[in-house]
Amino acid sequence: MDLWDVFVDVSWIGILIVIAQFLRATVPLFQKFFIPASLLAGILAFVFGPNGVGWIPFSSQLSTYAAVLVAVVFAAAPIGDNEKAEKTDKKSSERSKMMWGMTVNTMGIAVVQYAVGILLTMYVLRIFYPKLHEGFGLMMATAFFGGPGTSAAVGGALQKIGWADGTVVGYTFCSVGIILGIILGIVIINWGARKGYTNYVTSPKDLPRELLTGLIPPENQKKGGRITISSISVDTLSFHLAIVLLASYLGYLCTELIEKWTGFEIPVFCTALIFGYLVQFVLKASKTSKYVDRSTITRISGTATDFLIVSALGSIKISIVIKYGVPMLVTVAAVLILNWLWFILIGGHTSPRDWFERDLMVWGQANGVLATGILLERVVDPEQKAYAVEDTGFANLISRPIITFLTVAPPIFIGLFPVVSSYIFGWGSLLVTAIILLIGYKFKWYTPGGPLPKGRAKLNLGQQEKSEAAAK
């Protein structure tokens, strides 16, 4: 394999993304269910690539791209992130309760997915499938809450400790999660509107055209980032990409050196994330972080994620999906039931107002990617009045340490201490979930009991209709 093979692979991924965006913009079915273009491109890569009909000449190394790209995604995560957790002087204020309630909601569903996925595998699935690798239990949370990047990372780490199919299983779970998260999210929106739980819309039918097609009209287009470096010196995109690649390469180099000296291999995404934090620390300490634009870093990470999704789905082998068919169906059913019960029993009581709109954000993130949550929330809150996006950012900032630990540590410990590590992480995650809820209850960020609060949309519509009738 030479560089021209890489060029052909990357070119075809780009071509498929363009075709997929065209399909999203023109096919009503894809618009109705908000199917992301990158996911459509991945499906096309699977169908027409070497594992399908074989029309697209991808190289034999297509499956390795995800492992490289996920290092870029994780290295970029901390760089340019200069935001601090928002503080409030009045701890009992409504905004404070909303912010911390969202944290309880987001952190809780992430941790409980680890607990349920691991314990379901160890106590149920392995009874009927004794040879099922215990790493299968990690796939629920890494694919559904974590998304494509985390699936690639954890799947690759599990591959290093003896489960060769982990990456494919993770990609498949993630794809199913995104699709069902969107479709069932639309069902939940219609259910909530009928029940009167919505606060800003009575029907999700009238949506901006750009949400359906993915094409933003010129009058609504926004800039993708700031120019922080003069082009007379170097293009600002080159500068930002260089910083991300520096952290990525240092992570790769660290993994190689540790393996050489100790014989123990730490996944590259773990060390890339560490060096991402180190690079960010150096930038802040040297007071040069002002020249790093977070939006540009996000665009680089987003591009890597899109290409990761296409290459990952294109390398899925149908034989592996069939091999794990029943355990995967059981796990998908379990996580969807879990997410729905959490949506009603927990999420519905973690916000003093606008619970439905805010809970949809968590539903979307718990089923694949944060972008799904943003999309669904915008359907019922077009003007973003529920503070769902802002508070999700706060929640993810607070949750980052524990989520990072649960992403990085389990594959390493499963490799060192098989079986016992899974039981410890499974029951430990369940205990942490209980602690999160108890803390939320203590500070009134989580207030269980009673019916789900009704929204204001139907009430406002009724009042408007009465006023119009009286005027006539």
- 3-state helix/strand/coil string of 312-323: HHHCCCHHHHHH
Residue 17's pLDDT is what? 95
Residue 394's pLDDT is what? 84
Per-residue pLDDT tens for 271-284?
888 899 899 999 99
pLDDT band (50, 70, 90) for residue 471: low
Average pLDDT over residues 26-54: 87
| The pLDDT of residue 132 is above 50 | yes
CB 302 within 8 Å of CB 33: no
Bigger pLDDT: 237 or 174? 237
pLDDT band (50, 70, 90) for residue 89: very low
Rounded CA separation 240/137 (Å): 37
Residue 221's pLDDT is what? 83
Average pLDDT over residues 388-402: 83
* Among 282, 340, 308, residue whose Cα is nearest residue 116: 340
Residue 241's pLDDT is what? 95
Q: What is the mean pLDDT of the chain?
A: 86
Residue 463's pLDDT is what? 52
**Which of 17-21, 151-155, 410-414 is the most confident on average?**
17-21
Residue 204's pLDDT is what? 61
Average pLDDT over residues 56-82: 85
pLDDT band (50, 70, 90) for residue 454: confident
Lowest-pLDDT range of 18-27, 117-126, 299-308: 299-308
| The pLDDT of residue 186 is above 90 | no
Percent of the chain with pLDDT over 90: 42
| The pLDDT of residue 265 is above 70 | no
Bigger pLDDT: 104 or 77? 104
pLDDT band (50, 70, 90) for residue 90: very low
Tally of residues, the chain? 472
Residue 424's pLDDT is what? 96
Residue 216's pLDDT is what? 84
Residue 84's pLDDT is what? 56
Average pLDDT over residues 203-217: 73
Residue 179's pLDDT is what? 84
Residue 30's pLDDT is what? 85
Residue 262's pLDDT is what? 80
pTM to 2 decimal places = 0.77
| The pLDDT of residue 244 is above 90 | yes
Residue 376's pLDDT is what? 83
Sign of the alpha-carbon torsion through 127, 131, 132, 135: positive
Tokens of 444: 């009134």
Bigger pLDDT: 297 or 31? 297
| The pLDDT of residue 91 is above 50 | no
Lowest-pLDDT range of 62-66, 341-345, 406-410: 62-66
Lowest-pLDDT range of 170-174, 245-249, 354-358: 170-174
Per-residue pLDDT tens for 321-336?
889 999 999 999 999 9
Per-residue pLDDT tens for 297-313?
989 988 988 898 888 78
CB 350 within 8 Å of CB 101: yes
Residue 447's pLDDT is what? 92
